[in-house]
A and B are shown apart, each in its own frame.
Chain A
C-alpha cells in the first residue's frame, strides 16, 4: 500500500478543494486543472505548496472577477490580506455547502409504497423524500425530490452511525429493492439508508424512461453489423432523448458524480446523521470515493465492492477479455471442466469464427420484440452475452457448457439467457446513465475507433460530445484517513483484481484489499464470505477483519457437457 500520503497531502487536497469553491463558476475548469496536478506531484510538501498557491490564484481570480475591483487592486488586496483570507478560507472549508445558499435539507415522510414488503419488514421502513437543488451553484434553478428509504435495524436500539448503500449503474434504481435489502443487514445494529440517485428509480427527474427499449434495436443493429450506420442510428436515439429532456427544461449539466455526492450530503444532513458508513457497489464506488474525498469528516468507514475503475479506464473489451481469459484458464485447471471442455478458450474463439461466418437463429420470447420471435445470434452478440454472464458467479457452472452448445449449433436455452440479461439491463435508466457518464468521463467524448470491438461501440463513445459538457471529474480519495475495504471478484469483467488493487494502493495505507475467488461483479451479492467480512469491517473499521473465509471459497461446480443442472 502507498505509505506516502500523509497529513500534508490531505491538507493539500483540502486546500485545493477550497480553491475550487472560491473560483468563479466560469473558471471552474481551471479549478479542476489546478487540483488535478496534485495527483502528479509526488512530494507531499511540494503538493501542499502547490495547493496554497491554488488558493492564492483562486482568490485573485475571484476578486478580479468582481466589477468593483480592478485586477491590480484585487492583487493588492490579496497581498495585504492573504493570510487573513487563508484563515477565513479554512474556516469556511467545513461549511462550504453553505455557499450555495441551498434550502435547509429536510426529510419529508411519505407512505411506503414499495413492492414485496412483508409484515415483518414494514414496521422497519421509513420512506420519504429529500429536496435538493437542481444546480448547487444556482439555487434559483429549481429542485428535485429524491426518494429515500431508511431501513431500521432489526435489533433496536440501533447504533447512531448508519450504513448508506450506494448503488451502481449509473442509473440503477434502489429503493424499490428495500425489502430485499432489509433481509441481509450490512452490519449488526446499523440502520440502512437507501437513496434513488437523481434521475433513477422514484427520484426526480424522469429522464427518457423508454430510452432503454429504444436502444435495444439500435444495440442489436451494432451487434449484427458493427457499421458506421448502425452507430449513427444509436447516436440518433440518444440525441432524441437529449432533445426531449432539454425541451422539458432539464439541464443535462445537472448530473454527474460530483452532483450526486452533494445530493448524498443533503440526505445525510436531512436525516441528521453525523457520520455514516458508506457501502458503494460498482459505479457506487465512484460516488463513494468522491464522497470520501469531498466530505471525509462525514464518512466513518467505506466499503468499495467491485470498483468501477477511475479514469483513465482501459477499454471495456480489454477488461472483459482479461476476465474471460482468467475464467478459461480456471476451467483448464479444474478437473471436471477441463475433462468436459478440454480447450474452452479455443472452443470460444472457434464459436466466434463460426458465428461470424454464419449467425445462428434462435427463437426468443415476445419480450425481445423481434420479428417472428426470432433473433440472429451474431459473434458480437454472443461475445456480449458471455461478457454479461461473467458478472454473475451463479452463471459460472453452466457457462462452459453454454459456450460448447452454441459452438455445436445447439441454441436451446439461449433465448432464455438473452431474456434474463435483457431483464437485468432493463432496470437501468439509460438516459441517466448517459447523463452521469457524459459529465464524468472524458474518453466518451471521442468517437469509437473504426476497428473498435462491438463491446466498445455499444458504450457512449461518440455520444457524449453532443450530449452535454464535460463536468468536474470524480475523485479518488488519495491518502484518506477513512478506513476503507476494497472487495474484488476474481473474474470481475468491470475491474480485474489487479486494477482494483491498484486503486486500493492509490487510496493509501488505510485501504484493505481482498480478492474473492470464483466471484465476478458485486462480491457481497454472491458471496456469504463477502457479507461477513463487510459486516465485521463496518462493525469495527479500525480493526483488520478476518478475511480467511476468502481463502476457503467453494470451488465452482461446473456442469459437464451433457449434465442437466
Chain B
C-alpha cells in the first residue's frame, strides 16, 4: 500500500517544529538541531514541502557584517493546516495510548 505523503516520522517532526513557531522564519541549521534531522534528510524534505506549496522561503540578510544572506522558511497556510491536522492526530493518538495504559 502506498505510504501517505508527508506522513513519515521525519516529516512529522519537521512539521511539528514549524507548527510550534508558525509565525517565525526559521533557519536550516536551527531546524536540524531542533528536529535532530541531518542536512541530508532535512533539505530533501524542505525541497519537497516547498514544491508542494506547503512551505515558503526567502533570503534573510545576516545580522552581522561579513556573513552571507541566509535562507529562511515557514509554513504556508496549507502547510500550517497540514501541520495542525497532524498535531491533532498525534494528540488523539496520545490520548488513545493513555487510555490503553
Contacts and interface: CB of A to CB of B under 8 A. Distances in A.
Interface of A: 27, 29-30, 32-34, 36-37, 39-41, 49-57, 60-61, 64, 309-314, 442-443, 470, 473, 475-476, 499, 502-503, 506
Contacts of A32: 71
A207 B14 CA distance: 46
Contacts of A310: 65-66, 68
B62 interface: yes
Kindly name the residue among A64, A312, A314, A473 whose own CB sees the greatest number of chain B CB atoms within 10 A: A312
B61 A312 contact: yes
B21 interface: no
B35 interface: no
Given A39-B67, A40-B27, A34 B43 contact: yes
A61 B65 contact: no
Nearest to B57: A33
B44 interface: yes
Kindly name the residue among A27, A53, A60, A476 whose own CB sees the greatest number of chain B CB atoms within 10 A: A53
Interface in B44-101: 44, 46-47, 57, 59, 61-71
Nearest to A35: B68
B64 to A, nearest CB: 8
B62 A57 contact: no
B65 A54 contact: no
Given A30-B47, A57-B44, A442-B59, A50 B29 contact: yes
A549 B66 CA distance: 29
A54 B68 contact: no
B39 interface: yes
A36 B29 CA distance: 10
Contacts of A313: 65
B62 to A, nearest CB: 5
A311 B69 contact: yes
Contacts of A30: 43, 46-47, 71
- State the majority secondary structure of interface residues on A: helix
Sorted from nearest, which 9 A-B pairs have the closest CB atoms? Answer: A53-B39, A56-B40, A33-B71, A53-B40, A57-B43, A312-B61, A53-B38, A37-B29, A36-B68
A57 B39 contact: yes
Nearest to B61: A312
A57 B40 contact: yes
Nearest to B45: A57
A2 to B, nearest CB: 11
17 contacts: A30-B47, A33-B28, A33-B43, A33-B57, A36-B68, A36-B69, A37-B39, A53-B38, A53-B39, A53-B40, A54-B40, A311-B62, A311-B68, A442-B59, A475-B68, A502-B65, A502-B66
Given A37-B27, A37-B28, A54 B39 contact: yes
Nearest to A50: B39
B41 interface: yes
Contacts of B59: 442, 470
B69 A312 contact: yes
Contacts of B38: 49-50, 53
A29 B67 contact: no
Contacts of A503: 65-66
Nearest to A34: B43
Given A33-B57, A34-B43, A312 B67 contact: yes
A62 to B, nearest CB: 11
Given A30-B43, A57-B44, A506 B66 contact: yes
Contacts of B41: 53, 57
Nearest to A40: B29
Contact of B40 (A29, A41, A60, A442): A60
Kindly name the residue among B41, B42, B61, B65 whose own CB sees the greatest number of chain A CB atoms within 10 A: B65
A469 to B, nearest CB: 12
A50 B44 CA distance: 14
A524 B40 CA distance: 46
B39 to A, nearest CB: 3
A29 B68 CA distance: 13
Nearest to A64: B44
Contact of A37 (B61, B66, B70): B70
A33 B43 CA distance: 9
Given A33-B57, A502-B66, 12 more contacts: A29-B71, A33-B70, A34-B39, A37-B71, A40-B29, A49-B38, A49-B39, A57-B39, A60-B40, A311-B69, A312-B67, A503-B65
Contacts of A55: 40
A283 B27 CA distance: 29
Nearest to A476: B66
